[in-house]
Amino acid sequence: MLSTTPLTDGWILRHPDEDGAGLPAAVPGCVHTDLLAAGLVPDPFLGRNETEAAWVGRREWTYERRLGTASEHERTDLVFDGLDTAAEITLDGRTLGRVRNMHRSHRFDVTGLQGLLLVRFASAYTEAEAVRGRLGDRPAAYAEPYAFVRKMACSFGWDWGPTLVTAGIWRPVRLESWSTARISRVRPLVTVEQGAGVVELRVEVERTRADAGLAVEARVGGVRARAAIDGTDGTVRLRVPDPELWWPRGYGEQPLYDAELTLLHGSDALDVWRRRIGFRTVELDTSADAHGSGFTLVVNGERLFARGVNWIPDDVFPSRITRERYRRRLGQAAAAGVNLVRVWGGGIYESGDFYDACDELGLLVWQDFPFACAAYPEERPLRGEVEAEARENVVRLMPHPSLVLWNGNNENLWGFRDWDWERRLAGDSWGEGYYLGLLPRVVAELDPTRPYTAGSPWSGSWAHHPNDPAHGTHHSWEVWNRTDYADYRREVPRFVAEFGWQAPPAYATLRRALPGEDLAPDSPGMLHHQKADDGNGKLERGLARHFAVPEGDFDRWHYLTQVNQARAVAAGVEHWRSHWPVCAGTVVWQLNDCWPVTSWSAIDGDGREKPLYHELRRLYADRLLSLHVRDGGLVLAAVNDSGEEWAAELVLRRMSVAGEVVASTRTAVRAAARTVAHVGVPPELAPAGPKEFLVADADRLRALHFPAPDREVPYPRPEFDVSVESGAVTVTARTLLRDLLLQADRLDPAARAGRGLVTLLPGERVTIEVGGWKPPLGQEAADAVRSALYCVEPAR
């Protein structure tokens, strides 16, 4: 049987030009984390220390350790699951190979060899700039040369991320010793046919003996099958009767089956492959209709609205992301009602731990190939690397039932059309051959059970603009960049794959990341942790459209920018969900951060949930009430994305901001499963000017409509009572409290609140669970809570 020896210990990190003992190196890891552990660079996440670590990415580095390969087996391989990025590997002075791709694994025959193992990393800048010198420059969204090296693009910086260009052995490394043969690849094609689960395992083996008779025996769900290996490949097919289907969350359960395949030589087991699989079907409906051409995911025959979030690497140093951290972050997504996670193309193919968690949580995965916001050359050495990484990762990830879509790139087809690339390229290659040629061929050959789309955004062909909202996927960035979030309501795209609004991270996150700084929107650390072009200007202009912008009051600015972020995303999601099935999905930019930063995230770089996160829990719930202005009148949309009919009494109240009910009515609302019902609001209930608003209540859900921006609304001075118990805070309103927020991390950095923004009418109360805080006794606790409570106040 194949034996494995992990190589995690005994590594030393050196700079080639330096003598001395070197540094202890963690493997998996990277140079930055080793230097941090040794105290040789300051934490780049704090203050403006990022600039103090810039030199690291410009230097060469060497990992070394002694290696012995003595074994009773016929063959020993040195296997690297991930090397970041351009490196030469030598053993006892003998070159084993040279590599240049972070997204691939590498295997070297080291049978009988021993001595000093060296992994010499060139600077990724040196590698990228050399390729650019040979192939010529290409346009990109950023000046860094990320398009010329197969590496996580965002390590070169992004409009939410630091520039920390990594190097290192970032995934596990091991010795594998074996005799006769080993399993080199298994492609599990999992389908459902006529009520049965069908598993076709296509096996490839590597041999030391060409004449050895080999077979494979497979087991799935109690069903067994056996097949011979002819040469270096074979196929074994199993049929599992009446399997339990795997469903996305909200549509059913997520049963997983253990699949095992054993390579045999006679009765001797040589190698074993084990994975978990799930039975389900997936289609992508892009057919034409009266509204254009759609983009609807269909799982097990059920058409679904994708309640999505975009995922970026959860740490700029990906080797630090543990299985537990993936589970925690994706668990937060699931708890917010998310059913789809898009793995964005400027990052990585994530660890198997990521996809395992998605399998278990019922989170659909849309996987980008790693191309983002640049023209990518198609010549060698890049083309061969692109094909090799695509082939490896398609096979690596295809066992996971959560994976439902392969996507060729992020914004590159759009960039070619709209960002002046075509003129600047003057006929040079730019990636079209990957997205419309190579990648769809690889997916069709290796993983025909899943759909592929060429890019996001993409209208399906060059017959339409790549970002045409009537066709395929759409990225809505004009709103954040230039206009007001009310403009989300001007269009009904078929599928909104990116949109979002910025806000700063939680207060405790800022305090940790900017120690000792006198916080202000434009203080040095705040500006350094704002990477977007004119980001603060867009925040300010976005605020000014709705609020009187506070001058010199950082705490109010911090609160209002977070409110504005939640309101902006709500404006889009409420509008687009109300237009199901014409619009079949929203994928909010973005779920998470890779460091503490002002960004579009719902969960900040320290893992704290911003008000947007809690708003997503409302927006992405199975049932949602929202109010809309259409054709000159008000309409209530009752979105029912549950599997049962929704019938409820709807109470509509026209109210004054002083708390008086001006007019009211009761009516029935009924929405069939997976549909949206619309109820017209009687004209006499429409608010008359900024002193009034409309409240809609049904089944403990609420929708509000204020006809004027907050800066025009004569809110009363907020008055409320507070009571504190262990683990909970109760607020009772004596006046209208608009968007009340308890910032629990102001009570204690470890504290978390169980809910976000809530609007209370006079006399109403809300109890907010608070974890991680031990309140003081008596009035001191209530005073502390009052200092952490914020709501919209009358304009000053």
Cα angle vertex 166, ends 162, 601, to 5°?
35
Domain end marker among 691, 712, 733: 712
pTM of the model: 0.97
- Residues annotated as part of the active site: 411
Q: Which residues of the chain have pLDDT under 50?
A: none
- CATH code of the domain covering residue 504: 3.20.20.80
Pairing of strands 737-742, 758-760: antiparallel
Q: What is the predicted pLDDT for the residue at 736?
A: 98
Q: Is 446 left (phi over 0), alpha (psi -120 to 50) or beta?
A: alpha
Locus of tokens 């929203």: 586
For residue 661, CA distances in Å to 415, 649, 766 come to 52, 18, 21
402 and 441: one domain? yes
Provide the residue type at 147 as one letter: A
- CATH code of the domain covering residue 254: 2.60.40.10
Residue range(s) defining the domain that contains residue 29: 3-176
- CATH code of the domain covering residue 781: 2.60.40
190 and 42: one domain? no
400 and 459: one domain? yes
159 and 255: one domain? no
DSSP conformation class of 663: E
679 and 743: one domain? no
Q: Which two tokens stand for residue 298?
A: 């269909």
Query: Where do the DSSP E strands lie in 555-698?
Result: 585-588, 623-630, 633-640, 646-656, 661-671, 675-680, 692-698
Q: What is the predicted pLDDT for the residue at 796?
A: 66
DSSP string, 160-204: SS-B----B--S-EEEEEESSEEEEEEEEEEEEETTEEEEEEEEE
Q: What is the predicted pLDDT for the residue at 77?
A: 98
- β-bridge mates for residue 276, sequence order: 258
CA 396/CA 632 separation, integer angstroms: 53
For residue 544, CA distances in Å to 18, 26, 484, 533, 565 come to 55, 49, 10, 19, 13
CA 345/CA 5 separation, integer angstroms: 33
Domain end marker among 712, 746, 768: 712
728 and 743: one domain? yes
Domain end marker among 145, 176, 207: 176
Number of domains in the chain: 5
For residue 140, CA distances in Å to 146, 530, 788 come to 9, 20, 43
Pairing of strands 86-91, 214-220: unpaired
381 and 235: one domain? no
CA 69/CA 112 separation, integer angstroms: 6
412 and 309: one domain? yes
Cβ(607)–Cβ(509) below 8 Å: no
Cβ(184)–Cβ(109) below 8 Å: no
Provide the residue type at 426 as one letter: A
353 and 475: one domain? yes
688 and 767: one domain? no
Q: What is the predicted pLDDT for the residue at 20?
A: 73
Q: What is the predicted pLDDT for the residue at 541?
A: 97
